[in-house]
Amino acid sequence: MRCLAILLLLTLGPAHKLLAGELAVESDFSGGSAKVLEIDQAKRVIRIEPEANPQRGWECWWYFQVNGIEPGETITLDVGNAPWATPDQAAISTDNVTWKQTSPGKRDGKRIVYRHEVDGASCWFAWGPPFRVEDAQGLVDETAKSSPHATAFELCQTRAGRSVPALRVQEEGVPDEQRKGIWIQARQHAWESGSSWVCRGFVQWLLGDDPRAKALRQKARITIVPVMDIDNVAIGAGGKNQTPQDHNRDWSDQPHWNSVKVAQQQIQQQDKAGQFDLFVDLHNPGANDKNPYFYTTTADYLSEEGKRNLEHFLATARLEMIGPLAFKGETRESGPNYDKNWTKISKNWVTKNTAEGVVAVTLETSWNTPNSNQEGYMIVGRQLGMAIERYFRNMP
């Protein structure tokens, strides 16, 4: 095909030659997604929308590469058409590894326009800093390789045959029968990439040199799943409200998704052994939520012990999660007035199906702020780890 293109240029003459530095968009890679509406080569404007994935949930995630850039020129990116797809600042990278934010975009109805000066001949734009299937597997493998306290394992195979990587962490300390059981998971909604970066920050703190991390490793067995909805992350789909339901509405007696089914089995096994104490499901919230907050289960599900433990956990989280993305004490309840399928939300299922004192919460980390980037998210993860350590150290 390349030879044919050169032949056509020679045959058709100068009027039909491609311009040097002609912009081109590529999204055919892991996690990539973009519907290109127009590329105005003269004005250097790219207009896109999230790619449609019927039955795969909200169309809000986008992530693509731009080639043909003249280093130092300003590229204009015009994105629509849903509010979930238009963050105030987009993510941009020149190496597809380190991401920063664009300047705030200008809104025009359901669309937003970002302008960014690009240093290289190519760059990647995304809704937020991507955390791909490869990143989840790499985090698990590299952590297990570098730390004697971490073990990599496969949670399950998805319906599409992809592996769901997971990590188990503990250090020699208290007898196993006295260990606390902690389960941390992210990305039940595939588009919420920030939650996986929070997870990464937690893992880095947990396996680091902080004496408090060591103390937690010695008294607990911590299970970590960086991406629950691997299949939708792989293809760049949203996942939220997919068919037959998203992962966070699948926690029932007969779950559809394999990762949910196996997570339930492992949580119940730990609980039966008397070694399950804390469940944290990591998410990103709505565009207007500028500070992290926790969803809690309905008060009707909680015993007096459960209420005391939840209050204690939230108090420690407020002490430790001080920002720049700070938890200021806000909580919301995922009860019958929240969603018709509220009983099938993960933390509600966990609360209903484990011991009375177990704390199960959803942490919603803001994605639409100047600090909603790799560094900001990972700070939240580190501070979450410190909150968990304090919670168990000062149990009432």
Rounded (5°) CA angle 195-198-204: 145
Q: Are 287 and 85 in contact (CB under 8 A)?
A: no
- Structure letter (DSSP) for residue 322: B
Instruction: Tell me what pLDDT residue 308 has.
Output: 97
Task: Encode pLDDT of 341-382 as tens digits.
Answer: 999 999 999 999 999 999 999 999 999 999 999 999 999 999
Closest CA relative to residue 62, chosen from 43, 90, 41, 38? 90
Does residue 96 come out as left (phi exceeding 0), alpha (psi in the -120 to 50 range) or beta? left
Could you tell me what percent of the chain has a pLDDT over 90? 91
pLDDT (average), residues 83-97: 95
Mean pLDDT of 167-193: 97
pLDDT of 8 over the 80 cut = no
At the second CATH level, the architecture of 133-393 is 3-Layer(aba) Sandwich (3.40)
Q: Do domains 22-126 and 133-393 have the same CATH topology?
A: no
Per-residue model confidence as pLDDT tens digits over 119-143: 999 999 999 999 999 999 999 999 9
d(CA 389, CA 321): 12
CA distance 153 to 350: 22
Does residue 93 have a pLDDT over 90?
yes
Q: What is the mean pLDDT of residues 317-327?
A: 98
Strands, sheet with 359-364, edge to edge from the N-terminal-most edge strand: 150-157, 163-169, 220-225, 180-186, 278-283, 359-364, 293-296, 331-333
pLDDT at 17: 39
- Rg of the chain (C-alpha set): 23
Per-residue pLDDT, 3: 34
Backbone angles phi, psi at 289, to 5 degrees: -85, 105
d(CA 263, CA 277): 15
Q: Which residues pair with 181 in a beta bridge?
A: 221
- How high is the pLDDT of residue 15? 37
Is residue 295 predicted with pLDDT exceeding 70?
yes
Alpha carbon distance 263, 383 (integer Å)? 25
CATH number of 22-126: 2.60.40.3120
- Give pLDDT, residue 7: 31
Note the pLDDT tens digit of each residue in 244-273. Answer: 999 999 999 999 999 999 999 999 999 999
Cα separation of 31 and 125, whole Å? 12
Among the listed residues 154, 111, 110, the one whose alpha carbon sits nearest the alpha carbon of residue 133: 154
Of the chain, the percentage scoring pLDDT greater than 70 comes to 95
Predicted local distance difference test score (pLDDT) of residue 20: 52
Return d(Cα 197, Cα 143) in angstroms, integer. Answer: 15
- Quote the pLDDT of residue 18: 40
User: What are the domain boundaries of the chain?
Assistant: 22-126, 133-393
pLDDT of the residue at 84: 87
Sign of the Cα pseudo-torsion (344, 350, 356, 357, in order)? negative
pLDDT at 83 over 80: no
Cα 237 to Cα 31: distance, rounded to the nearest angstrom: 8
What rounded mean pLDDT belongs to the chain?
Answer: 94
Quick one: CA dihedral 325, 334, 239, 56, positive or negative? Answer: negative
